[in-house]
Chain A
Amino acid sequence: MMKETEDNESKRSSRRNFIKKVGAGVGAVSIAGIAGTSVIGGGRLKSGEKVKLLSPDGKLVEVDKDDIQPAKEAVAELKAEAKKGLPNRKFVMVIDLAKCKNARRCVEACQEGHLLPKDHEWMKIFLLQDDHDTSRYWFPRPCFHCDKPMCVSVCPVGATYKRDDGIVLIDNQRCIGCKFCMTGCPYSVRVFNWQDPEVKVPEGYEYDPELAVPQVEGTVGKCIFCADKLRKDELPRCVSACPMGVLYFGDILEDTVTNGEETVRFSKMMTDRAGYRYREDLGTLPSVFYLPPVQRLFPVERGLEDLPDSIRLRYKNAGPR
């Protein structure tokens, strides 16, 4: 029953939150506890304080404060959940090139949500022109979450993985920074942390591959379809932020995609609007589809207005290659 799955999911997400909160809180407390209790003759005095915890199989247990290292367990639990993904889902995104005018709200929302330094763009907007006789168009490009991901195939330590719901994630604590995945990806999706991103992380936060905050120096980052939001049945940040409704997102198994305001059947959209994938011939089977810029709402030049120079000059040489 659909309702039951929803209940399970909400249970799981509340359990995640519980673990996050308790784990973080108890983590802080346990460090203080261990530091506070004195070490006499090699043994450790137990402070005697008990803490209530939720065990992985759903039981409430009482444990002495000093006996636990919950911070690590919280991260391990989050990572295990991140590897499993959401059951019976396969996520796709549809990008309507007819409506994009380089408003760049998607880029900004993504950077804000994942606390990225300003020069990291997980969602990137290109100005493409296939040939002299064809027209220019704005091309937003998130990670394609391919079904045959080259990046996953070449990772030597398994730091990046594809899970059953289609999302390709990165474990920033496993990544060794060899950058093979960056040369493997033909779409230039991944960015590298060449220096310390120096972002302020909120209190009590545990590392979660589904949110990927903070980015780690010497490791790789990329669009993760906001897997943390999907757990709460919310749309990815770029999709919610787009003022033109360019980005549609959904579950292909439900045959439905939405941009927050308009909800349509995915198969119908593909048939009616001739959806396609970028460079289908490379055979990576992307999960992102594009709708060709037919009857576009705005002239292309509108996307170059109101831009700071540092961004507008990027497109100076945009044209057929």
Chain B
Amino acid sequence: MKTLISRTLILLSLLTIASFYSFSQESTKISPYVQLQYFKDNNDNSSLKTTLTYSKNRMEIPLEGMKIIFYSGNEKKNKIAEAVTDEKGVAVCDLKEKSDFSSDATGQWSFSTDFEGNDTIESGSAELSIRDVILKMDLAEVDSVKTITLNAEKIENGIEVPASGEMLTVYVPRMFSLLPIGDVTLDDSGNGSLEFPADLPGDNEGNINIIARFEEHPEFGNVEKTATLKWGVPSSYTVPKGHRALWTKVAPLWMIYTLSILLTGVWGHYLFALISLIRIRRNAKKDESSDLRNI
């Protein structure tokens, strides 16, 4: 009896220690945040992007150099590619082959991403369901008003269906960020239009980039169409070369003239005094016999 109790106690304590050990192991492991996104760009090239970060002090810190595996399919997963996260914690996989997309009955694609984990970081995964959408953007001046016309059709059961009621945002990319121009909600036939501002500055020639996109759409992911045209106001800003001011490299002319005149005037007089000294010396040399006292 006594040995049984003592053995149970030993076993219990061992288990407790083991559980503490594993618990503490797990509590020191970082729990990552895995985000999977789908992108379709202007040339209809699709890609998947996984972002691996973890939370510290209410800030997201990227995890670099981690191996990420991309899969397609829902129950039966096909491995598409492997990638390693960069310094921003991002791993990208290009979807080129038709085999990368495995669709279900309604034509939706399934993707997932997996991070194995290691000694310090837990494993993580994310899933995504995407439906293909065909986006068209048309830029034209209608009644001398610059108008962007958008049309989107989603693929449902192999047929193109107007994506009515969906919302797109139109941007103009700027130096640090994208400037939102406006939102477009598509009508029943999948069309929508937006007036482009007439006074938006472009580059020197008035070129401007326009991006229309579905942003993190629950069904379509991120799909965009871009265009470049001369719809911007040409911005010209060059400081004229040789501009003269107090703060420029070259001084205002009047300052240079004044200084030169003053300096020449003054130093000219100094030169006169110096020459006088030389003349005294020359004269004294000629006159060596005279003594000052005789005067």
A residues in contact (CB < 8 Å) with B: 1-3, 5, 88-90, 148-149, 152-153, 158, 161-162, 164, 233-235, 249-251, 253-256, 258, 260, 263-265
Contacts and interface: CB of A to CB of B under 8 A. Distances in A.
Contacts of A148: 245-247
A164 B175 contact: no
For the complex of A and B, list the 4 residue pairs with the smallest distance between their C-beta atoms, beginning with the closest. A153-B246, A152-B247, A258-B177, A256-B174
B209 A255 contact: no
Given A1-B207, A152-B247, A153-B246, A255 B200 contact: yes
A89 B202 CA distance: 12
Interface in B197-248: 200-204, 207-209, 228, 235, 237-239, 245-248
A5 B235 CA distance: 14
B228 A265 contact: no
B56 interface: no
5 contacts: A158-B249, A164-B238, A254-B179, A254-B201, A258-B174
B239 to A, nearest CB: 5
B177 A263 contact: yes
A260 to B, nearest CB: 8
Contacts of B202: 2
Given A2-B173, A260-B177, 7 more contacts: A1-B207, A148-B246, A233-B175, A254-B201, A256-B174, A258-B174, A263-B180
B179 A256 contact: yes
B56 to A, nearest CB: 16
Interface of B: 173-180, 200-204, 207-209, 228, 235, 237-239, 245-249
Contacts of A233: 175-176
B175 A88 contact: no
B227 to A, nearest CB: 12
A264 B245 CA distance: 34
A253 B176 contact: no
Given A2-B203, A88-B203, A164-B238, A254 B175 contact: yes
A164 B200 contact: no
Nearest to B172: A256
B203 A263 contact: no
A153 B247 contact: yes
Contacts of B200: 255, 265
A132 B175 CA distance: 42
Contacts of A250: 174-176
A8 B180 CA distance: 26
A234 B180 CA distance: 19
B174 A254 contact: yes
A164 B248 CA distance: 11
A160 to B, nearest CB: 9
A3 B179 CA distance: 16
Contacts of B204: 88
A129 to B, nearest CB: 32
A3 B209 CA distance: 9
A213 B204 CA distance: 34
B202 to A, nearest CB: 8
Contact of B235 (A253, A263, A264): A253
Contact of B179 (A234, A235, A263): A263
A242 to B, nearest CB: 14
Contacts of A235: 176
B201 to A, nearest CB: 5
A192 B228 CA distance: 48
A231 to B, nearest CB: 11
Contact of A263 (B174, B201, B247, B248): B174
B174 A90 contact: no
B174 A164 contact: no
